[in-house]
Amino acid sequence: MLLLRIFLLTCLSLALFQHVSFALLPRSPISLENNEYRGVLIAISDDVTENATLLERLKDVFTEASSSLFLATQQRSFFKEITILLPDTWSDSMTNIPAAGELFDAANIIVSNHENVGRETPYTNQFGSCGEEAEYIHLTDKFILDKQWTVDKYGDPAKVIVHEWGHLRWGLFDEYPKSQNEHFYLNEDREVEPTRCSKSVIGKEYDSSGKRCNINPRKGKWPKDDCRFEPISNNQATGSYMFASFLASVVEFCHSDVTGDLRSLHNAMAPNQQNIQCSYRSAWDVMLESEDFKNDNNPARQVIDTTPTFRVVKSSPLRIVLVLDVSASMRTNDRIGTLNQIATKYIRTTVPDGHFVGLVEFSTSSSITSYLAELRTSQSRDALAGLLPTAVNGVTSIGRGLESGVEVLENGEQVANGGIILLITDGQENRSPYIDEVKPTLVSKGVRVDTVALSDEADGKLFNLSTETGGIPFYYTEGNSSSGLNDALTATITMRLGGSQNVPIQLYSEKEAIPSGGKITGSTFIDSTIGKDSIFFFLWSTSGISVVVNRPNGGVIDSNSSEYNTNDAKKTVSVEVIGVAEPGEWLYEVTGPAQQVEISIQSVAKDNTQPIRVTTTTSHSLITETPAKTNIYAQVSRGYTPILKASVIATIERPNPHNPVDVQLRDNGAGADVVRDDGVYSGVFMDFVTATCPNCRYNIKVIAEDKDGRAEVPISITTSGVLPLNRVSPGYKTADQTEKVGQFSRVVSGGVIQAPVTIPTGDNFPPSRITDLRVVNASYDEQTITLAWTAPGNDFGRGTADEYDIRISREFHSISSNFTDGYRLTNQDIIDGDLKSPKTFGMDETFTVQVPEADENTTYYFSVWAWDEAGNEGEPSNVVSASIVLFVEDLDDVETTSEAPPEDFDMLPVIIGCSVAAAVVVCAVVVAVVVKIFCMGSEKPYTV
């Protein structure tokens, strides 16, 4: 009896390369000079109980990690200076040194209570493309404290740190399989190989019951779904850290130098994320392109001692100085009145208790209105808000205001280091001292400057002032629907204290017009994670208004309620909900004379509850190249758990008189989005105006919500992070269970984009790269292969492409390195589908291709790209393969732990579709029972 088997497997997709992302709140800046990393910030969450042993173990682990890192980078880097930030609730016996600007939300490495995280595995918050620095490494107190548990589960904790540093610093990806069908692949000889890097890693395959599996790889016998490769402990492989850092022999990252150590040689055929995201490049190749090692930066040198120096500090309150423009131009559009309203809200409700705020106003000269005052009571807040300016006069000396801001921070023999100046101005500086004269002092003293460019006329130097001092730039367009000033001031707090329990979360922020003789209505959702200190703000512009708020339970709050407050002097109405607001949809109704009304709604997380939060980044905040574009990212999460299926839209307000543009952000793994269903929603903005303004600004506002109850969170996340020793254990398998989040809404500022470039006209953008090409079906009878992918759009992730170009080749390395080397298919080669009729971005495409006649054991490799009508071509997709293979095997020669084949089958001809290096792996086997020798089609439609 003869056995014929062929397998179908889809290959890993390549990722679209993007530029390094810019977080609105910069992470603690890490520098590498003379092989020494400085500026590393480790922050311990306030949910971790005070523990001196934890602090000492942190030092021990990172001291050992420094030595391992030095060896792994071939003597080119190690940790020299590390700061550990403790919660402010920890006693002075741990440290009495206050933080000098170090913030939990800016930490490079976070340590949280393992009981509150939802996952125990160390991981890196990474959502950019290959080579991009990630956000932070996340560890738990258990990982640090319970050394034996950590060693048993993950191996040497110091080597785990090096693995995660590869993600954080160099934008590397894991070299182990992430999905069910990526554990094995067929090599070019059609032998079943376990996914690993390097191929020098040896081991055995076991199923979940502990039995051997994949014991006959040379026969192409595909293992069962629960088969896993387990490296043996006495390996000789020296690579790689991104595969199995727990192996004692692993001391390097995989490289591509065939003249180097072959025990660390990169395995480009393995279906893993490093090959997906980095176009088959090795980890070391990617590292050598980073600023750390590019152009032979930080060459290898001998270092006797790689022990870091540790500085331990305790979280301290924010010290903020509002530096406000009161020059004559602030009279335009009653800017001073709007500033007074928003700054009042900021002082009274946005800044949490225990932080300090001072006031400076400037025009021709400057004056200190208030030195730093602690905001803890309603009386202290009202007193400070009462000092906000109302009168305007004079010209604009921004530098003078900045100098006074520093003076406030240094009052009482305090140091300015770590202080924040929040500068709001509408004009061009026209009186010395100028920004460039004062900036060196700000940098040397460690003062961060947040800036709000109030209107298009505001000075173009504000952006650089923020970025060069470690602050955050914002922009308020003054548009009829813009709430940018309120969003900016709120963001200066939420971006720095987002992890704190008592920071307000903004649910709604809009500016609307009351029509003549009419009213405006709207609503927001208060979800089950929030409800404390819920406040509805209504700011009018000309005449008094009347507000009614309807509770979800049918209750009504109006002017007769104790929760209703009117301030005619500030032109505001506020509704402060008593107690914890009940979850559900809250409605509001505003009536009054025709005018603009700004509405803002916020709430605070319930005690001991992880609230839903949204954070944003962009790939470019300063546009220096054309054609101009930037990726916008929004991470939606509940605690550290991603929220899936939310609706996320970024509204980009453009220079007047241009209308705002909405960009739908998607978590579909296509276009700008790198990973599907990770809670990071991505999109591309490219609608820059062709105006000649030298520093055109664009304000980003992100709205994330779920009105329909579709959003959900995974119940557990177990496969993200470093590879555990035992992958067969049920704990390693990805949980596919989710739970509903419930209706919610969030609004955050995405900061400002500045574009001092000339924007060309015309269609300058190609379709996005297809990253999920896969084989979904194979027909032996029809001799066809069915391919599928997500439509890439016309201009990156927007619109509809004009045409597809599908290539086929018999050589994987040929088509993967040079797309046009492949044979180009025409519609005559397509059984189902039309190359000239692509679908709109995000839709599913399916094409069935006629397989050519071939000799036995031939594999065909496919790749595709899209064109638009202007001739712009996208990048080639990932490469997938399909084979029609004849195996004639003697059953007596086949070792197996699975069931025997049916005895009444003399021969089983099977068609294989397999893909090498694909993001989504689909295995499909099409079996035809025949009684004659397998043969290919009699007519060869084309040659490859």
pLDDT for 698: 95
Predicted confidence (pLDDT) at residue 735 exceeds the cutoff of 50: no
The structure tokens listed for 212 are: 């051997």
pLDDT for 15: 31
pLDDT for 749: 95
C-beta separation of 502 from 375 below 8 A:
no
Predicted confidence (pLDDT) at residue 288 exceeds the cutoff of 80: yes
| Per-residue pLDDT band at 10 (split at 50, 70, 90) | very low
Nearby residues of 806 by Cβ (< 8 Å), 6 or more positions away: 787, 824, 825, 835, 847, 849, 862, 863, 864
Cα gap 277→813, rounded to integer Å: 17
Instruction: Return the minimum-mean-pLDDT range out of 49-58, 169-178, 196-205, 890-899.
Output: 890-899
Cα gap 236→757, rounded to integer Å: 54
By 3-state DSSP, what share of the chain in percent is helix, strand and coil, each rounded to 5? Answer: 20, 30, 50
User: Following DSSP, what letter does each residue of 100-139 receive, concatenated?
Assistant: SS--GGG-SEEEE-GGGTS--S-EEE--S-TT---SEEEE
Angle between helices 147-154 and 157-170 (to 10 degrees): 70
C-beta separation of 247 from 231 below 8 A:
yes
Helices assigned H by DSSP within 789-857: 812-817
Predicted confidence (pLDDT) at residue 908 exceeds the cutoff of 60: no
Q: Which residue has tokens 């000092």?
A: 387
Cα gap 759→331, rounded to integer Å: 33
Per-residue pLDDT tens over the stretch 330-346: 999 999 999 999 999 99
Predicted confidence (pLDDT) at residue 418 exceeds the cutoff of 60: yes
Instruction: Return the minimum-mean-pLDDT range out of 219-223, 287-291, 726-730, 907-911.
Output: 907-911
Predicted confidence (pLDDT) at residue 889 exceeds the cutoff of 60: no
- Please tell me whether residue 303 adopts helix, strand or coil conformation: coil
Per-residue pLDDT tens over the stretch 439-482: 999 999 999 999 999 999 999 999 999 999 999 999 999 998 99
Instruction: Return the minimum-mean-pLDDT range out of 61-65, 495-499, 701-705.
Output: 495-499
Pairing of strands 858-867, 880-884: antiparallel
- Please tell me whether residue 898 adopts helix, strand or coil conformation: coil
Distance of CA 51 to the CA centre of its chain: 31
Over its C-alpha atoms, the chain yields an Rg (Å, rounded) of 30
* CA distance to 172, 349, 555, 610, 612, per residue, from 353 (Å): 40, 9, 30, 20, 21
| Per-residue pLDDT band at 756 (split at 50, 70, 90) | confident
Of 183-192, 351-360, 668-677, highest mean pLDDT: 351-360
Give the residue-averaged pLDDT of 182-195: 81
Phi, psi of 383 (to 5 degrees): -65, -45
Give the residue-averaged pLDDT of 23-39: 91
Global pTM reads: 0.88
Across 232-354, the runs of DSSP E, i.e. the strands, are: 309-314, 319-325
Per-residue pLDDT tens over the stretch 927-940: 332 322 223 333 33
Give the residue-averaged pLDDT of 571-585: 96
Question: Higher model confidence: residue 136 or residue 115?
Answer: 136
- Please tell me whether residue 179 adopts helix, strand or coil conformation: coil
Cα gap 365→146, rounded to integer Å: 59
Predicted confidence (pLDDT) at residue 812 exceeds the cutoff of 90: no
pLDDT for 763: 84
Segment holding 487, helix H or strand E: helix 484-497
Give the residue-averaged pLDDT of 28-35: 96
C-beta separation of 772 from 789 below 8 A:
yes
- Please tell me whether residue 443 adopts helix, strand or coil conformation: helix
pLDDT for 855: 52
Q: Which residue has tokens 């989710």?
A: 738
C-beta separation of 458 from 485 below 8 A:
no
Q: Which residue has tokens 């896993």?
A: 228
pLDDT for 90: 96
Question: Higher model confidence: residue 295 or residue 625?
Answer: 295
Share of the chain above pLDDT 90, in %: 67
pLDDT for 304: 95
| Per-residue pLDDT band at 616 (split at 50, 70, 90) | very high
pLDDT for 938: 31
Predicted confidence (pLDDT) at residue 907 exceeds the cutoff of 80: no
Predicted confidence (pLDDT) at residue 523 exceeds the cutoff of 60: yes
- Please tell me whether residue 416 adopts helix, strand or coil conformation: coil
pLDDT for 640: 85
pLDDT for 736: 60
pLDDT for 920: 33
Predicted confidence (pLDDT) at residue 888 exceeds the cutoff of 80: no
| Per-residue pLDDT band at 25 (split at 50, 70, 90) | confident
Give the residue-averaged pLDDT of 587-594: 96
State the sign of the Cα–Cα–Cα–Cα dihedral 936, 939, 942, 944.
positive
| Per-residue pLDDT band at 98 (split at 50, 70, 90) | very high
pLDDT for 717: 59
Per-residue pLDDT tens over the stretch 347-372: 999 999 999 999 999 999 999 999 99
The structure tokens listed for 285 are: 């190749």
Predicted confidence (pLDDT) at residue 390 exceeds the cutoff of 80: yes
Q: Which residues share a beta bridge with 511?
A: 598
Per-residue pLDDT tens over the stretch 761-808: 778 899 998 988 888 887 767 788 899 999 999 998 889 999 999 999
Cα gap 521→726, rounded to integer Å: 57
Per-residue pLDDT tens over the stretch 912-924: 444 444 333 333 3
Quick one: how many helices (H) and strands (E) in the chain?
13, 51
State the sign of the Cα–Cα–Cα–Cα dihedral 379, 381, 384, 388.
negative
Within 10 angstroms of residue 938's Cβ, the number of other Cβ atoms is 6
Predicted confidence (pLDDT) at residue 650 exceeds the cutoff of 80: yes
